[in-house]
Structure 1
Amino acid sequence: MTSIITGDIINSKESNPKNWLNALKGVLNNCGNEPKQWEIYRGDSFQLEIKPENALETGILIKATIKQFKNTDVRIAIGIGDKIYASEKITEANGTAFVNSGECFEQLKKNTLAIKSPFTAFDIQINIMLELAQLTMNNWTATTAKLVKAALENPDLNQKELAKHFNKTQGNISQGLKRSGFDEILKMIHYYNSQIKTVC
């Protein structure tokens, strides 16, 4: 089993691509090698292969990365399944993970983050959680998104250390994380991880 993240940038033309492109590449580079594991195509679309247990956290990290730039957001579809054909380029590989990711992406209308796997009950449960989480995540400000990105990338840092990193008070950081729904998002990621182990 593998997972394929398919995404595209919302309002990509209204923001300087140099900003979000470099930031996005930074996240994708930490996940694997280009173009075998990830690729950016058509200017503002991307595909990434990642272990199913890391898919949701990576999707949320990508969202925080893109939302730190004003007026930009990202649509993300996570497909879980098999990979039956490997290629030098991830965009030319094939399998149910790719099909599920593509179908899930086509169905993204109001939602900006969803999942499709061979396990219907699992999908229903996780997608309800994701819809609720997006009520908060879709409204992250650039400042909040920066904070979420730093907290996800540095799980060992406590609020005091994050405050030092951002040159802010611990109170500011505490308020910012609360506003972002960070604790609840972490609980959702942990729940997803525990469930994915039972189905994959």
Structure 2
Amino acid sequence: MIAVISADLLNSSGYSHTLLEKVLHVLKLEFDILKESGSDFRIYRGDSFQGILKNPEEALRVVLKIKTAINQLDESDLSNKRNMAIKADMKCAIGIGTYDFERESIAEANGQAFQFSGRTLDSMKTLNRKTQLKTPVEAVNEEFNTSLFLFDTLADKWSTASAEVIYYLLKGLKETEIAEELDISQSAVNQRKKAAGWEAINALLLRYEKVISEHFSNGK
């Protein structure tokens, strides 16, 4: 079993040239990091991307890292993020399933996970949803698509500053380390962390990792 992540940038035609360049640059940086662990992610059509993860339980954390990496971006060159509305976002589908047709190029690969991811992303184009999951187990789908709907509602209230803090938390940094990285106080980091709903997000991630590992890891 693998996870396939398929995503479209939201309203990318409305991005300024500067913002789009920043988004594509950040995506490439994130994909280079993922490549070091054996994952393969590619940008296509200029505003979409797809990737393969060999460990399905890591998929949601990877999605949130990519999401927050671009959520924190704006057109300004300021080193410290201001409390601005998010301008760059994505719609993303995680498909978990078999890898039936493996090729060197992800564009030529196929299988259950690819079909689940691609078809789910297509179905989301008419829905007010940004994050969805499709697996062979309907009970898993029902649980997490309800949870992910709540997550989308929470994330829609983020500012660029909130997304920035969540990004570093997802990377495993402590509050003091984030404060040093962003050149702000630890109390400011803590305030942004609470405002963004980190405790609930972390609980969702831990639940996802547990359930997906139980159902789909070790060749299941």
TM-score (norm 1): 0.94
Letter in 2 for 1:22: H
Q: What is the Cα deviation at residue 11 of structure 1? A: 2.3
Q: Alignment RMSD, CA only? A: 1.3
**Any idea what SS the aligned residue of 2:99 has?**
coil
Partner of 2:48: 45
Letter in 2 for 1:169: S
1:115-164: CA deviations, max 9, x gaps? 000010001001111111111112221111111111212x1x32122111
Whether 1:180 and 2:201 are equivalent positions in the alignment is no
Does the aligned pair in 2 maintain the 1:77–1:105 contact within 8 Å? yes
Between the aligned partners of 1:49 and 1:167, the Cα distance in structure 2 is 35
1:13-162 correspondence to structure 2 within 5 Å: 13=13, 14-15=15-16, 16-32=19-35, 37-50=40-53, 51-70=55-74, 71-108=87-124, 109-153=127-171, 155=172, 157-162=173-178
Letter in 2 for 1:57: R
Between the aligned partners of 1:142 and 1:89, the Cα distance in structure 2 is 34
Between the aligned partners of 1:65 and 1:129, the Cα distance in structure 2 is 21
1:34-61: CA deviations, max 9, x gaps? xx82211000100000120110001111
**Any idea what SS the aligned residue of 1:147 has?**
helix
Does the aligned pair in 2 maintain the 1:37–1:90 contact within 8 Å? yes
Partner of 2:82: none
Percent of aligned positions that are identical:
31
Structure 2: give runs of 5+ residues left out of the alignment.
Answer: 75-86
Q: What is the Cα deviation at residue 171 of structure 1? A: 1.0
Between the aligned partners of 1:158 and 1:58, the Cα distance in structure 2 is 19
1:147-194: CA deviations, max 9, x gaps? 1111212x1x32122111111111110010011111111110010010
Between the aligned partners of 1:173 and 1:64, the Cα distance in structure 2 is 15
Between the aligned partners of 1:60 and 1:138, the Cα distance in structure 2 is 13
Between the aligned partners of 1:152 and 1:198, the Cα distance in structure 2 is 22
Does the aligned pair in 2 maintain the 1:39–1:89 contact within 8 Å? no
